[in-house]
Chain A
Amino acid sequence: MEATMKNSIVAKSYRNVLIQFQSLIALFVLCFALTLLTDKFLTIDNAWNVLRQISVNICIATGMTLVILTSGIDLSVGSVLALTGSIAAGLLKNGLEFPSFNLYVGFTLVGAVVGGLVVGSGLGFFNGWAITRFKVPPFVATLAMLTMARGLTFLWTKGFPISNLGADFDHIGMGWFLGVPLPVWICGTIVLIAAFLTRRTRFGRYVYAIGGNENAARLSGININAVKVAVYTIAGGLAAVGGIMVTSRLDSAQPNAGVSYELDAIAAVVIGGSSLSGGKGSILGTVLGAIIIGVLNNGLVLLDVSPFWQQVVKGFVILIAVIIDKVNSKSDQ
């Protein structure tokens, strides 16, 4: 009896380890399979390439994780990314003109980037304000912002790309530092900060508490609205970081950039084990989720799979990830 009990406990803990690292294991299996299938996969160049590609999604998905942990959603990040990228590009290239005052304001590189970040955070703040002040459901409020920000992007760019932004600006998305691409440094720093924020700070605890039980959080004296506004502001700011990286990498702000990026971000969060109903999930899970999507995309391209099939496969993987998660949490009860 005691022996079987002990065995079952050991088996149990093995299972828990399996569950905890399931996305890591999945990623490992995926990489192993791709290495066998093509010799183009396991190369340093390809690794940096994948990481550079997914750094934008990781940025956005990090903000998305915070929002989803509070049981919200942010559909506007793709549009905000496009708007902030083109604002940064426009400020850098053309500055601001106020013809009625006969005034021209030029922007340095830093000024333009800060401009983009301020606009992104501002739009995120607006989302949070609408959601907390008027109790607009997050889905609706950010859906409205998705449309508005896209419209503003076309107004700002008049529908044309803003290109040739100069070597300094392009360095953000294409440069290297200590042998590692700059976007990887940027998103790595963001991930690190966000991971500490969620795990080790009061703010992070509040985020989980609000997503887990908003009533209990309110009665514990937590300022729910302030926390919510903060997470949407962060999500907007991180979308702006993504926007600047995308614009820099392409050396061009495209008015239709970032379409459906919010869905990739949500996919990364979900594959990473977060619950859309809030209160459960982690930043590192999301990063793994983003890497899995990135490696999958990359592998399918290397294997010459048609882009149409790529979408089918990606969708299927999302579904499988959530099903595995559900099965695990059920057997855990």
Chain B
Amino acid sequence: MLAVENITKKFSGVIALDNVSMELHAGKVNAILGENGAGKSTLMKILSGVYNDYEGRILFKGKTISFPNVRAAQDCGIAIIHQELNLIPYLTVQENIFLGREIVNAWGLLNKKSMRLKTEALLQRLKLDVDPETMVSELKVGQQQVVEIAKALQNDSEVIIMDEPTSAISDKEVEVLFGIINDLKAQNKTIVYISHKLDELFRIADRYIIMRDGCFIESGEMRSMNHDDVIQKMVGRKITLMRQKQSETSRSTELLRVENLCLRSLDKKGENVLKNISFGLAEGEIVGLFGLMGAGRTELVETLFGLHPKRKSGDIYVHGDRVSFRSPSDAIAKGIALVPEDRKKDGLVLGLDVRSNISLASLREFEGVVFLNNKRETDVAEKYIEELKIKTSSHTQPARNLSGGNQQKIVLAKGLATRPKVLLLDEPTRGVDVGAKNEIYKLILDLSMTGMGILIVSSELPEILAVSDRVLVMCEGNLTAELSREHATESIILKAAIPKSM
């Protein structure tokens, strides 16, 4: 159906794809597997016409084709659902779906009725219950993702590329998506599916294609593989999840204590997003915080980091002292660091180099009387690049040029450079490949050994279970469970996380 031959693509001298050849089969879900930086996204961008300066060729239905732009690829029947949402917030659902291919009447005016009907049909098929006239900005992230999918389905594409389509949607929406994928398969469409969630791939994918460091490694039937095989081939080495029971010695000192913490809602007057949260975090302890979307996890760590001083009530104690942070700088001064959920939006200044990003939160330490001490700053940056195994040609590289996992490590390094006693990690491994994930887990354990208290927010249960000494569960702003490592099981955690009304 669709094949690529000897594709090579370089970015300013760095090889992103190295002589890649592969075939994508019609009527199948072709899973492309690989760590971040393996070249998956670059390949997909070539297939969908985003990049057109590459060596090698694309074969579509037996003919060599090249796409000068995205539109040309769409016209050929290749649609891509990007990892990042590409919707325009202040247009309606319908306007977004038909953006660039509006239906017009003989006068050149928009045929709103026809578009509305088609949109309704699409949304119904995708089981998304919203009015086509709703503004996209009013939708939840998961719903926006479904709109993005609707957009790809709208022009009857032959090949549909999905780049991490489930990274932002709930389990229920995943089920709907899988239903759609099965329908598309039945219609003999070619599905290309990229995801880091292996469980998902084993459920939905028919074929696998493994890439590593810009090269094609191998392909075959998904059925013939198991979990460990896949991971081993992706990283090129065996990895073992490394949680070993650590000693309970240094657990006596409490670093952080939260009493009756509440946070007023921004949009809904009189309601609280956090409701009387109380818990503690001891020296050297790793506490996992689990909750579904909208449970208030992110709000909790943000409040602890001093981000919502005016809406919060309740008490926070650090080292037994009652604190009242008015801004993140107060929190940093008291030894708290936050690694935010969305590294591109909140974590990094993409245009600044690696070094400046690492030192950004601790810049005061590198300040002489007037000027910054460049040498010391560089030394510290180099130290973290080495310790965290950040893959970059130099500390002067703009953060933009690094892959997702390495960017995440920069954000982590920035937090660590403030020498925190308490580390708040919000989804530290989201959109990060398996190899980097394990490195981050190892790092978290190492840090806890040094006495740091770590609160890790995650929506991946295996992750929570793998690293936590204790598990907190949140649901609709309440702390619904506090479980020791021995008692925490998937079913108990999930039961506490799912709202009663459901």
Listed in ascending order, the chain A residues whose CB lies under 8 Å from chain B are: 5, 8-9, 12, 196, 200-202, 205-206, 208-209, 212-213, 215-223, 279-280, 332-333
Contact = CB atoms under 8 A, between A and B. Distances in A.
Given A201-B371, A221-B329, A9 B348 contact: no
Given A8-B13, A213-B350, 20 more contacts: A9-B13, A12-B13, A200-B370, A200-B371, A202-B363, A202-B364, A205-B360, A205-B363, A209-B352, A209-B360, A212-B349, A213-B345, A213-B349, A216-B349, A220-B328, A221-B328, A221-B329, A221-B333, A279-B349, A332-B12
Q: Which of A5, A212, A222 has the most CB of B within 10 A?
A: A212
Contact of B331 (A202, A212, A221, A279): A221
Interface string B317-361: 000000000011101110000101000011111111000100011
B332 A200 contact: no
B233 to A, nearest CB: 27
B363 A219 contact: no
Contacts, number: 81
A8 B363 CA distance: 37
A12 B328 CA distance: 42
Contacts of B107: none
Nearest to B332: A221
B279 to A, nearest CB: 23
Contact of A219 (B340, B350, B374): B340
A217 B370 contact: no
A36 B41 CA distance: 53
A200 B13 CA distance: 30
Contacts of B331: 221
Contacts of B351: 208, 212, 279-280
Interface residues of B, number: 34
B289 to A, nearest CB: 18
Contacts of B418: 221
A223 B347 contact: no
B275 interface: no
B186 interface: no
B411 to A, nearest CB: 9
Contacts of A220: 328, 360-361, 414
Nearest to A213: B349
Contacts of B332: 221
B371 A12 contact: no
Contacts of B356: 205, 208-209
Contact of A205 (B307, B345, B372): B372
Contacts of A205: 356, 360, 363, 372
A40 B328 CA distance: 59
B349 A217 contact: yes
Contacts of B370: 200-201
Contacts of A201: 367, 370-372
Contacts of B374: 200
Interface in B286-336: 305, 307, 327-329, 331-333
Contact of B352 (A12, A208, A223, A333): A208
